[in-house]
Amino acid sequence: MNKFKAFKKVYEEAVESIKRFIDDPSDMNELAAWLMTTDANPYSYLQECYADRMSTAEGCDGLLAIIHHAVYDDGNITFVKVDNQPRIVFAHKHDDNFRKLVLYVQEQEIEKRLIFGKTRQYELEILDIKPNDFPKIYNDYQLKELQKCFSCSAGRNGIDFAVENYKKYACFSEDWVEICADEIAKWTIFYNR
C-alpha cells in the first residue's frame, strides 16, 4: 500500500473519531470541542508528556481516548489548579507521587531550591468538577492572565501595539483598553520612570 494513502486513511479516521467525541452527549463532549477550538497553549493545561498530542489529529484522537478511558473506566484523571492555573492530570489524587505528576519539571526544580533562605511551594487545589466544566474554568483563568499581559504590554509599548498583538486571541476585545485602564496606567508609570 502507498504510504501516503495509509497516512491519509489514518488521519481521516482520527478526524472522524474526534467528531464522534464532540457529538456524543457525554460528560466530556464539551471538553473535546474546547480542545479543538481553544487557542490556549496545551503545555499550560496538560502534563508535558501529553501536550504534544494536540499537534496532530491522530495524537488528539489518542488523547481523547485516554480522557474517555480515565473518566469512564479507571478514574485516573484529576482536574487541579496549580497556583490558580487549571490543569488536567492523568493521575488519581490519592496516588503517592501525585504532586510530582502535577508539577512541571521546572516547578519541581524550583521547589527544591533555597531562594532568600526559603523554599517555594506551589499551591495545589483539587477541583471537584466534571470534564465538561474544565473549559469554562480554564477560559476564565486565561482571560485574566491575558488581560494582565495586555496591560503590561500596553504600558510598555503603547495601546496600539498591545491591541495588535493580543487581537489574535479569541477572548480579546477592544474593551480591554477600558477594562485594564488602571493597570495600563500603573505599567506606563513603571516603564517611564
Q: What is the pLDDT of residues 132-144, one digit of tens each?
A: 999 999 999 999 9
- 57 and 98 inside one domain: no
Instruction: Give yes or no for a contact between 21 and 66, defined as CB atoms under 8 angstroms apart.
Output: no
The reply to whether 48 falls in a domain is: no
What is the CA 62 to chain-centroid distance, rounded? 18
Q: What is the pLDDT of residues 98-111, one digit of tens each?
A: 999 999 999 999 88
pLDDT of res. 122: 93
- 179 and 144 inside one domain: yes
The reply to whether 145 falls in a domain is: yes
Ramachandran assignment for 69, one of left (phi > 0), alpha (psi -120 to 50 degrees), beta (any other)? alpha
Q: Give the Cα separation of 8 and 59 in Å (integer).
A: 14
- 3 and 66 inside one domain: yes
Residue 135 CB neighbour total at 10 angstroms? 20
- 124 and 135 inside one domain: no
pTM: 0.89
pLDDT of res. 113: 82
Structural domain including 21 reads: 1-40+53-73
- Mean confidence (pLDDT) of the chain: 93
Q: What is the pLDDT of residues 52-102, one digit of tens each?
A: 999 999 999 999 999 999 998 887 899 999 999 999 999 999 989 999 999
- 108 and 167 inside one domain: no
The reply to whether 17 falls in a domain is: yes
- 1 and 65 inside one domain: yes
- 138 and 181 inside one domain: yes
The reply to whether 47 falls in a domain is: no
Q: What separation in angstroms does the CA of 125 have from each of 1, 47, 61, 84, 193?
A: 50, 16, 28, 8, 39
- 102 and 147 inside one domain: no
- 138 and 189 inside one domain: yes
How many separate domains does the chain show? 3
3-state secondary structure of 82: strand
Average pLDDT of span 6-28: 92
- 120 pLDDT band, cuts 50/70/90, is confident
- 116 and 156 inside one domain: no
pLDDT exceeds cutoff 70 at 1: no
Separate counts of helices (H) and strands (E) for the chain = 10, 5
Half-sphere exposure at residue 106, Cβ-oriented, CA atoms within 13 angstroms: 4
Q: Lowest-confidence range among 42-46, 48-52, 72-76, 159-163? A: 72-76
